């Protein structure tokens, strides 16, 4: 899916397949839960917050979080960031169809960082992205996320384990017809990090006090809240 030569129609099919997997695995729910806890601890009782999602793909997880926030009484000012203009087009279509607003930012976060001031976004998230990067690049992305976050950072990613590999192979065959997702799903688990590796990267990124825990199914959840 990272290949810039990928046909646009095949890219869209892969994004739909990934969205289906995210929906079934409850990716949005697992990300919203720590965000809601952070917001509840915020003084002043504000009912709106800004949210930046890195490598957002088609924005399915971001939209799910924004909807959950709305149900909980919060107004989510959502921004999707991705290197792919095709993906961001899918974000705009998805949010428009859902009757919700969002901003988009086309940016290579790994190579260029974020054109955003320090501590100017309340919460920064990413889902299923770090395993695409080597440890140094993933650490740099975490550091950049922490830099712009006013309240905290939430990251959901695959966890490298044998059962997760089997689940990825099955999900790729059962839940989508996209050949890209079928190949990427298994490769992604091979490339994923262990909980200990994620803890080390978070520490190197300056995210003091970050917690890294297991999340269903076969995922890892990184949570960091600014002191």
List the single range of 105-114, 139-148, 155-164 with lowest mean pLDDT: 155-164
- pLDDT band for 25, please (50, 70, 90 cuts): confident
Share of the chain above pLDDT 90, in %: 66
CATH code for position 121:
3.40.50.150
Report yes or no on 176 lying in a domain. no
Q: Classify residue 188: in a domain, yes or no.
A: no
36 domain residue, yes or no: yes
For residue 56, being part of any structural domain is answered with: yes
pTM of the model: 0.86
Q: How far apart are CA 26 and CA 90, in angstroms?
A: 20
What confidence score (pLDDT) does residue 73 get?
Answer: 95
Number of domains within the chain: 1
Q: Which domain holds residue 205?
A: 8-158+194-225
Q: pLDDT tens across 29-77, in order?
A: 999 999 999 999 988 777 999 999 999 998 999 999 999 999 999 999 9
Phi and psi dihedrals of 62, rounded to 5? -60, -45
37 in a structural domain: yes
Q: What is the pLDDT of residue 8?
A: 72
In a domain, residue 81? The reply is yes
Is 186 inside a domain boundary? Answer: no
Structure tokens at 172: 């790729």
pLDDT exceeds cutoff 60 at 186: no
Q: What 3 state SS string does 24-43 have?
A: HHCHHHHHHHHHHHHHHHCC
What is the arithmetic mean of pLDDT over 99-106? 96
In a domain, 189, yes or no: no
pLDDT at residue number 68: 97
108 Cβ contact partners less than 8 Å away, ≥ 6 residues apart: 83
Confidence of residue 190 (pLDDT cuts 50, 70, 90): low
- Average confidence (pLDDT) over 113-137: 97
Closest CA to 32 of 65, 79, 66, 61: 65
């Amino acid at each position: 899916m990272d290949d810039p030569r990928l046909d646009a129609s095949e890219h869209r099919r892969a994004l739909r397949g990934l969205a289906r997997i995210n929906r079934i695995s409850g990716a949005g729910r697992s990300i919203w839960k720590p965000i809601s806890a952070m917001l509840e601890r915020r003084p002043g009782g504000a009912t709106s917050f800004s949210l930046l999602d890195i490598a957002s793909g088609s924005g399915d997880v971001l939209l799910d979080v924004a909807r959950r926030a709305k149900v909980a009484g919060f107004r989510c000012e959502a921004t999707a960031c991705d290197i792919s203009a095709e993906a961001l087009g899918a974000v705009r279509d998805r949010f428009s169809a859902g009757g919700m607003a969002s901003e988009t930012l086309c940016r290579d976060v790994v190579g260029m960082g974020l054109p955003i001031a320090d501590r100017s976004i309340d919460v920064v998230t990413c889902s299923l992205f770090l395993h695409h990067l080597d440890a140094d690049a993933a650490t740099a992305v975490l550091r950049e996320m922490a830099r712009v976050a006013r309240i905290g950072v939430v990251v959901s990613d695959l966890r490298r384990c044998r059962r997760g590999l089997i689940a990825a192979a099955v999900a790729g065959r059962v839940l989508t017809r996209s050949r890209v997702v079928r190949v990427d799903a298994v490769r992604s688990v091979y490339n994923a990090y262990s909980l200990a590796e994620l803890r080390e990267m978070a520490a190197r990124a300056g995210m003091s006090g970050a917690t890294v825990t297991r999340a269903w199914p076969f995922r890892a959840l990184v949570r960091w809240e600014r002191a």
